[in-house]
């Protein structure tokens, strides 16, 4: 019976470096995962920096909806009253600076 000749040297060499191949693949996957994580964190940080409308801008937007007929006058009045409440307005005064400490000797 005839069997094909198998080059056992190539197979032996592949098995010899199998652990190196697996570790290399694991390292590449780890680097890709790290890059993906960095990109996600940067996008998350940029998402938090979105600007919000001031109460006056929101009232103007709701006024446009009233003029288009999307809101009734009663709904607009409720929204305007809620947005004009002082508790919802940000404090325009800057926060006080902490007192300067004297240098210690």
Number of domains composing the chain: 2
Q: What is the pTM of this model?
A: 0.38
**63, 78: one domain:** yes
Name the average pLDDT for the chain.
79
Euclidean distance between CA atoms 47 and 36, whole angstroms: 17
Give the pLDDT confidence of 39-52 residue by residue, as tens digits.
Answer: 998 888 776 555 67
- Say yes or no to pLDDT of 59 above 70: yes
**62, 44: one domain:** no
Give the pLDDT confidence of 62-73 residue by residue, as tens digits.
Answer: 999 999 999 999
Burial of 12 (C-beta count, 10 Å sphere; 0-12/13-18/19+):
exposed
**38, 63: one domain:** no
Residue 19 domain boundaries: 9-48
Whether the CB-CB separation of 88 and 82 falls below 8 Å is answered with yes
The DSSP string of 15-33 is HHTHHHHHHHHHHHHHHHH
Question: Does some domain include residue 42?
Answer: yes
Whether the CB-CB separation of 67 and 74 falls below 8 Å is answered with no
């Amino acid at each position: 019976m005839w069997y094909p000749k198998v080059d056992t040297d190539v197979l032996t060499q592949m098995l010899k470096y199998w652990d190196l191949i697996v570790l290399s693949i694991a390292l590449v996957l780890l680097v890709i995962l790290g890059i993906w994580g960095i990109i996600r964190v940067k996008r998350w940080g940029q998402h938090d920096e979105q600007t919000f409308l001031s109460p006056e801008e929101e009232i103007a937007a709701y006024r446009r909806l009233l003029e288009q007929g999307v809101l009734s006058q009663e709904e607009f009045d409720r929204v305007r009253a809620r947005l004009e409440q002082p508790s919802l307005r940000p404090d325009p005064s800057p926060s006080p600076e902490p007192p300067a400490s004297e240098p210690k000797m």
